[in-house]
Chain A
Amino acid sequence: MKKGYPLFVLLAVVLFSVAPVMVAQAPYEATMGLVQKIFYYHVPSAMVMFLSAFICGIASAVYLFKARPEADRIAAAAAELTVVFGLIVLVTGPLWARKAWGVWWQWDARLTSTLLMWMIFVAYLLVRRFGGSGAEKLGAAMAVFGMANVPFVYVSVNIWRTIHPTTRVVPTLSPGMRGPFWFCAIAFMLLFGLLLAVRARLEQRRADVEHLYLLADEE
């Protein structure tokens, strides 16, 4: 990973430079027009948020049952990324909704469940930051609970009445929209992978510092 990292960074820069051009060239949607183009960043951010929540939950479960510190470090990194990409989803969504629905926010199943899921991961970070000793285990349990929310958030648009578009939108995209969408999705996935690696490295270095403090105290 270390050797390929600069190459992946370069690739991410290229993808994110080309993405706006592809989005600009994508056709307008019939009813929403220009504002629908928020979709090309909003949905990939949501996909990354779900993926990140899953990684955080699985790593936390591994930490809870196997007590492996590296799993905890990955979970902490993924939780932070869930919050970052969740924030993007929760801000770009209302900007789109203001034009498309006429309101910034609607307390429907998808929006409310997404907000709740995001708040669980914010709570995870707060618990880890201010929870004192044992906060890692408590946080890990919260992350598993947060991960369990993901499928409900995803299918909420198909189960309950909501004005949010359903999950059938992406598989049925027209060819003109499909290309830019998957291009942006790949760019976001790549960026997520890179950020996760860097953030996990930061956690590793922090653990090294703690170890050094212990060594300094012993002597």
Chain B
Amino acid sequence: MHRVTMMKLTTWMIALWLVGMSGASLVAQAGAPGATPAAAGQAVGQEPQDQFVPVKSLPQQDQLPASTLLITAYGFVWAVLLVYLWTIWRRLVKVEREMQELSVKIGEKNARR
């Protein structure tokens, strides 16, 4: 039984690792600057680039939007705090319910005596 569980666990871990690795390589390919244009260029038979042209500032689509990062950061803080508050509340409710049930149980036992 234990061996079967371990084998299942190992299979799942290998499967997860494979999915993770393929996902990571896809993200890396998509994120690599110039990766897609180069591939596209080769596909239509363009000449390879032999000169780099400098520009004063990055094109708009290559600039990292600070506002998105800022909103994500603040949103994450709020989300974590709210989720944590909710988990505390849920655990407190569970414990209080358990306490009430036990008190009733003990009370009934005492009454029977």
Contact = CB atoms under 8 A, between A and B. Distances in A.
Given A84-B80, A84-B81, A209-B95, 16 more contacts: A33-B66, A34-B70, A35-B66, A38-B73, A38-B74, A84-B84, A91-B76, A95-B72, A191-B81, A202-B91, A205-B96, A208-B99, A209-B99, A212-B99, A212-B103, A219-B106
A135 B70 CA distance: 40
A99 interface: yes
A130 interface: no
Nearest to A89: B77
B99 A87 contact: no
Contacts, number: 78
A22 interface: no
Given A91-B76, A198-B88, A216 B106 contact: yes
A88 B109 contact: no
Contact of B80 (A33, A34, A35, A87): A87
A34 B95 contact: no
B1 interface: no
A45 B77 contact: yes
B66 A99 contact: yes
Interface residues on B, range: 20 to 34
- The 6 lowest CB-CB distance pairs between A and B, nearest first, are A35-B66, A34-B66, A212-B102, A92-B73, A205-B95, A95-B73
Nearest to A28: B66
B47 interface: no
Interface in B39-86: 64, 66-67, 69-70, 72-74, 76-77, 80-81, 84-85
16 contacts: A35-B66, A35-B70, A37-B70, A38-B70, A42-B73, A91-B73, A95-B72, A98-B64, A98-B69, A195-B85, A202-B95, A205-B96, A212-B99, A216-B102, A219-B106, A219-B110
A183 to B, nearest CB: 15
A213 interface: yes
A95 B106 contact: no
A92 B109 CA distance: 54
Interface string A20-45: 10000000000001110110011001
Contact of B76 (A88, A99, A209): A88
B5 to A, nearest CB: 16
